[in-house]
Amino acid sequence: MIGHLGPDILAVDFDLATALANLRSSGTTIGAALLDQRNLAGIGTMWACESLFLEHLHPWLAANELAADALTAAAERTRRLMLAALPHAVQSTTGSRRPGENTYVHGRSGRPCRRCGATVRVAMIGPPTRERTMFYCPACQGGLASTDNGRPIAPLGSGRRGRSNRGRPS
């Protein structure tokens, strides 16, 4: 049932060489490659977004065009972040576990980048039918996504859709 999965990023005997080979041969972007469990098992959108941000990597760069040291750094950073989060109930990449302070870009579209102040963006990444959400800072990570029209965006959760009905008559 799990034979199709890539190396488990949290395994004690994690096989970095196989993971890197899988990422490089994925034929897709680094963002989509990190999210494809066949390449490297265990990474979700938060860890992919945060790791790529911290490594200053544009999620839409082709995985096979990244320098070997950049690809290695991204995989190693992701593993370090995930291992550090294991003992905690709240996942964090910033060091803070306070609500709204625990990530650099994930879940922060429309808000200022914690590094440069530019607006954090969100766009879909990956092949059709397997697309995932990718949060990123275009200023820190090399520009807009090919699927991002660059229009201003409101902060995530600020619109009327999906808001609580608390205090309103039903």
Here the CATH number for the domain that contains residue 65 is 1.10.8.50
Bridge partners of 41, per DSSP, are 8
In a domain, residue 34? The reply is yes
Domain span including residue 69 = 16-136
In a domain, residue 159? The reply is no
Q: How many CA atoms lie within 13 A of 24 on its CB side?
A: 14
State how many domains the chain has: 1
Q: What is the pLDDT at residue 157?
A: 79
In a domain, residue 94? The reply is yes
pLDDT by 10-residue block (mean), the chain, 170 residues? 84 98 97 97 97 98 97 98 94 92 96 97 93 97 93 80 39
In a domain, residue 66? The reply is yes
In a domain, residue 42? The reply is yes
In a domain, residue 8? The reply is no
From the list 18, 25, 28, 68, the residue with the least C-alpha distance to 48 is 28
In a domain, residue 24? The reply is yes
